[in-house]
Structure 1
Amino acid sequence: MTDQQSADEQSSGTQTSRPRVAVLFGGRSSEHSVSCVTAAGVPGAMDKDKYDVVPVGIARDGSWTLVADDPAQWSLTSGRLPEVTAGPEPVMLAGRGGATELLVAAAGQPLRSLGRIDVVLPLLHGPFGEDGTLQGLLELADVRYVGAGVLASAVGMDKHYMKVVFEAAGLQVGPYQVITDRQWQQDPGAALDRAASLGFPVFVKPARAGSSMGITKVADPSGLRAAVEAARGHDPKVVVEAGIVGREIEVAVLQGRGAQQPRTSLPGEIAVQPGEHDFYAFEAKYVDGSAAALSCPADLPADVTEQVRALAAVAFDAVGGGGLSRVDFFYTTGGELVVNEINTMPGFTPISMYPQMWAKSGIPYSELIDELIHLALSRRTGLR
């Protein structure tokens, strides 16, 4: 199919026999550009003979618009961060006649259908995309979608409640403190004292942000207040975590088919190269391509490899995961596996850790996308 044929189909509402996939990206969070970078790789890897792909960008103001299927436009090039801008014809999802359709909702014009949508691939990171809010909207629209549901997305986004759930499932988490907005406003000194009680260094993080946005490594008490304020620039709730000496080990999780158990990849290890980056921060992840390296499979004893994969599946089930997740651990010098976090919509560019680990485990990028769409289409809408 040519691009012109696809555009004509979209504008006329003509249907195809292939599953019609709306690829959503951008969004309102501080991870807007990260989402665009993720979307640069996915549509191009989807087999156009299998799927009718409809890219939909979400601008920072929350408006939805049809965008070009152009990887170059959404890639990170020469330090330029890509961004979705609102278009003249905003679009929306709505249930009509037993199907979910994509509608043009231009001001002063009657609604115009662009045809059905069979499944949504939401490549959004952070609040208003990965935190259950978008998933709730898709549930209301009665459309299938790739990835975790409302509850799992919300728990996976909130580093505080994520730890609570992990502990309840018997997983080991590191020492931490939570500073809520009310606590900070009422008595910041007491909040800083609780954070300092963890010892130093500590990592100060927005509770509900990702891609290492707003994270500061603090070496002594003098930097603690500024770090909390920096995190609060992204989220009024802050999590302070004790520094853990250990190797950073990650495992990619893929939902099993039907009643099968979650599938886990070979574990990978992140090694930040000596130089400008003190930890695996935003610049190291997305801008400086030489800042970190992934080793997969990680050089671990066989029993530890088996254990970390099993624990990743426990973490996935603990939050009620669906579709995909990446679970991050610390492997300490004492031989303990401490779970750090779960990411229910990990970075998904061809060079991101999640697809790289699956490629090393025998599932290449395009096949991984096929499997995620299959899982979404196989799942009924509503309660899961």
Structure 2
Amino acid sequence: MKVAVIMGGASPEHEVSLASGAGIAEAAAGLGHTVIELVIERDGSWRDGQHEAIELLQDADVAVPALHGEGGEDGVIQGFLQQLKVPYVGSGVAASAVGLDKHLTKTILHAHGLPVTPGITLGGADLRDPEAAHQQLKAAGIEFPVFVKPNNGGSSYGVTRVTDAAALTDAIASAASVDGARVLIEQEMRGREIDLAVMQFPDGRVDAGPALEIHSDPNQPFFNTTAKYSKGAGEQFVVPAPLDAELAATLRRTAIEVFETLGCEGLARVDFFVPAGGGPVVNEINTFPGFTPASQFPRMWAAAGMTYADVVQNLLETAHARAAE
């Protein structure tokens, strides 16, 4: 196939996207596909020009929007590709938009009966009113420590762990610098941090790979941006995670249910907390997770016997089959 790999983008995850895109492009070329690399600059412009990019995309059999965060996982590029009638890897416009919006994701999952991290959402004038945040936290029964995060975004940019009320104002400002519309404040969940990779196959089947457990760097306050992308970050991953059969089955079933409830397609990574003595709680979903060979998603499928190239080939074939339907 002729495969167009789109990477970069205007979000803070620009460099992460370039790494994901480079890995996918190399694997696709190694599989014998003709690869076209298209880079979106930090200002949102196409490196080779938008008109030229459109022509290249329309000539492709499949596009891979290897973009993370705003402009990539929020349905914008997916809508653009649909307008061009170009088949692409991953979720469609609606599922992408919902998946990047943490508040909307949790609202839908909670309404569907799935357990999510307890928290509140601040917007509008409340973002500039610390007392409003304190009152909402009190009303919701949420106590410190908490995590303050942008509603939209990934890779833990703008995320702060807050242990007391005095630090809340600065944390909200940090999150609002990434997403000025909404900020989430969530209860810290003490327990294990487990991720599952969900993938769709050309016949429409959806499955989850072996679970991965994150052991946070003791030198960092949590699994933050520094911990995720520092040298040796992958050493913090244990896959397959040591789980009893019942918990493993529950995580797999719930991850697939999250994927299907939100209308996802192609791939997603579903992140959980497993509190001591309790069942899994959904933290987030990433509809196009980090995709270097060292990233969580391909490493989970490697534990199931699929190479990085196998995963890339499956995603391309699935997107092509979906377009054929």
TM interval, shorter chain, is: over 0.9
Return the alpha-carbon distance in structure 1 between the equivalents of residues 31 and 255 of structure 2: 34
Q: Which residue of 1 aligns with 2:56?
A: 102
Alignment of 1:205-224 (within 5 A): 205-224=149-168
Q: What are the superposed Cα offsets for residues 52-73 of structure 1, whole Å, 9 maximum, x if unpaired? A: 100010001111124xxxxxxx
Higher relative contact order (CA 8 A, sep 6+): 2
Return the alpha-carbon distance in structure 1 between the equivalents of residues 273 and 30 of structure 2: 40
Identify which of 66, 74, 84 aligns with 1:141. Answer: 84
SS of 2:246 mapped into structure 1: helix
Return the alpha-carbon distance in structure 2 between the equivalents of residues 192 and 288 of structure 1: 38
Q: Which residue of 2 aligns with 1:234?
A: 178
**Structure 1 residue 311 and structure 2 residue 311: aligned?**
no
- In structure 2, the CA distance between the partners of 1:227 and 1:49, relative to structure 1 (3 Å rule), is closer
Question: Deviation at 1:48?
Answer: 4.5
Contact 1:272 1:291 in 2 (8 A): no
Q: Which residue of 2 aligns with 1:255?
A: 200
**Structure 1 residue 265 and structure 2 residue 219: aligned?**
no
Q: Which residue of 1 aligns with 2:322?
A: 379
Q: Which residue of 1 aligns with 2:4?
A: 22
Return the alpha-carbon distance in structure 2 between the equivalents of residues 222 and 291 of structure 1: 34
**Structure 1 residue 55 and structure 2 residue 37: aligned?**
yes
Q: Which residue of 2 aligns with 1:112?
A: none
Q: Which residue of 2 aligns with 1:125?
A: 68
Q: What are the superposed Cα offsets for residues 91-149 of structure 1, whole Å, 9 maximum, x if unpaired? A: 4454xxxxxx328xxxxxxxxxxx71221101100001111111111111111100010
Q: Which residue of 2 aligns with 1:329?
A: 272
Q: TM-score w.r.t. structure 2 length?
A: 0.94
Question: Deviation at 1:169?
Answer: 2.1
Q: What are the superposed Cα offsets for residues 154-184 of structure 1, whole Å, 9 maximum, x if unpaired? A: 1110110010111122210121000013432
Contact 1:272 1:292 in 2 (8 A): no
Structure 1 gaps, min length 5:
1-18, 67-88, 95-100, 104-114
**Structure 1 residue 243 and structure 2 residue 188: aligned?**
yes
**Structure 1 residue 166 and structure 2 residue 166: aligned?**
no
Return the alpha-carbon distance in structure 2 between the equivalents of residues 352 and 330 of structure 1: 19
SS of 1:102 mapped into structure 2: helix
Structure 2 gaps, min length 5:
none
Q: Could you say what the CA RMSD is over the residues aligned between the two structures, in angstroms?
A: 1.8
Q: Which residue of 2 aligns with 1:152?
A: 95
Structure (1 or 2) with the larger CA radius of gyration:
1
Return the alpha-carbon distance in structure 2 between the equivalents of residues 272 and 136 of structure 1: 36
Contact 2:31 2:309 in 1 (8 A): no
Question: Deviation at 1:378?
Answer: 0.9
**Structure 1 residue 302 and structure 2 residue 245: aligned?**
yes
Question: Deviation at 1:259?
Answer: 4.0
Q: Given residue 4 of structure 2, which amino acid in structure 1 is its aligned partner?
A: A
The total of aligned residue pairs comes to 322
Contact 1:204 1:231 in 2 (8 A): yes
